[in-house]
Amino acid sequence: MRTARTIPLLLACSLVVTLGACSSGPAPRAWATSVCQVLAPWRTEIGTLATRTQQQMTAETTPAQAKENLMRLFGGAESASENARAGVEKAGIPDVDQGEKIAKSFATSLSDMRDAYGRAKTGIEALSIVSSKDFYAKVGTVVNTLNTEYAASELDTSNLSSVELKEAFDEVPDCR
């Protein structure tokens, strides 16, 4: 049976739950594990795509072949980044101070990277292949822009505002 004193307490907790303070997301270590399990294959894919892009830039191919290959590579990176972003969102909000802000910053970084790859793909798609010299010069411009945008949105777990998450990212084997 509820007393008059328990009703305000129930209402207060109900309000806190509505505002998100009583709800608990995954513990720091569990969240870091989930995020790193999503990011590990993404990093591998991005590394592979970066190597292939560099090879494509130095390979002796026609502009048409290079254009097709680069569009495929950047499209693959765009897709991989979106998959990683979705995986980070699926990991939830870590149960730490400013957990929502931290989770959102991870997802935003991946969205920004996805968009940078998408713009690079579109940039390559728009290039004329009539002049090989002009084509490759403009590819260089597109890749430089991509590198700048990518660096600006890079994920850096060493600057987290949560001590618990910093420790978790340092300790979880999937994060190393």
Cα gap 124→163, rounded to integer Å: 42
pLDDT higher at 176 or 67: 67
pLDDT tens by residue, 126-152: 999 999 999 989 999 999 999 999 888
Task: Give pLDDT, residue 93.
Answer: 96
Average pLDDT, the chain: 84
pLDDT tens by residue, 57-83: 777 788 999 899 899 999 999 999 999
Q: Is the pTM of this model over 0.85?
A: no
H helix or E strand, kind and range, residue 34: helix 28-58
**165 CB burial (10 A radius; 0-12, 13-18, 19+):** buried
Check pLDDT > 60 for residue 5: no
Going from N- to C-terminal start, the domains of the chain cover 22-175
Residues 142, 147, 152, 158: what is their CA dihedral angle, to the nearest 10 degrees?
A: 160
Q: At CA 121, angle to CA 156 and CA 109, rounded to 5? A: 20
Check pLDDT > 70 for residue 30: yes
Check pLDDT > 50 for residue 15: no
Task: Give pLDDT, residue 3.
Answer: 40
**Separation in Å, CA 154 to CA 108, 110, 129:** 10, 8, 32
71 neighbors 121 (Cβ within 8 angstroms): yes
